[in-house]
Amino acid sequence: MKKIELEIVALSHSIAQTHSYAVVLGEINGLRRLPIVIGGFEAQAIAVALERMQPSRPLTHDLLKNFMNSFNVELQEIIISDLQEGIFYSKLVCFTENDTVEIDSRTSDALALAVRFTCPIYTYEHILESAGILMDDTAAKKKKGETVGIEETGPAAKDELGGMGIEELQTLLNDVLEHEDYIRAISIRDEINKRKA
């Protein structure tokens, strides 16, 4: 089966499910998008790596990466290999100097590791056909060249940040970082940077 390469194009709150997030994967050189609902912890793990934030202690996916590096195991690629009853199945394709192994993984964990290892993400045509969304050409051209979008919450939270002063935002940022809420920290940091610009 021919593999189709994807990249992470957005990470945001899921409209469909409360306390869930959606990671949106986009077809490289194509118009299709693959939205996948993931949990809050996994979304945070992906956001931390995308934003190159340095947690005070290693998160679980950082620990796994450090472990793999210590034993000379390289993550070559991840493959979103199946879709059954709305659940995506993925494989980590790992190799050492002696062997190549495919390891079953939750898709959210596979994506969190892919970001850390900067390895390619693949899927198959039948998965994009059944779960993908085709963007029109205008929207795709508009999005081309943009960085990954990470949205912390809806308009109400943005209004809340908009009503705060820079000192209040900085205090709030320190507080959410202390509680390791990195997704919210990204929104606050972006608001502070927007004001300083």
Please tell me which of 19-23, 49-53, 77-81 the model is most confident about, judged by mean pLDDT. Answer: 77-81
Q: What is the pLDDT of residues 139-168, one digit of tens each?
A: 444 444 444 555 544 444 556 788 888 888
159, 78: one domain:
no
How many domains, the chain? 2
Cα 52 to Cα 70: distance, rounded to the nearest angstrom? 21
Domain that holds residue 178: 155-196
Quick one: pLDDT at residue 51? Answer: 87
Measured from the Cβ of residue 55, the count of other Cβ atoms closer than 10 Å reads: 13
Q: Which two tokens stand for residue 119?
A: 């390895």
- pTM for the structure as a whole: 0.73
Q: What is the pLDDT of residues 82-133, one digit of tens each?
A: 999 889 999 999 999 999 999 999 999 999 999 999 999 999 999 999 888 8
Residues 6 or more apart in contact with residue 32 via CB below 8 angstroms: 26, 128, 132, 133, 134, 135
**CA distance to 98, 115, 117, 196, per residue, from 78 (Å):** 19, 10, 10, 39
More confident residue, 65 or 85: 65
68, 41: one domain:
yes
- Mean pLDDT, residues 179-187 taken together: 65
Cα 195 to Cα 176: distance, rounded to the nearest angstrom? 19
65, 138: one domain:
yes
Quick one: pLDDT at residue 149? Answer: 52
CATH code, domain carrying 63: 3.10.690.10
Share of the chain above pLDDT 70, in %: 80
96, 162: one domain:
no
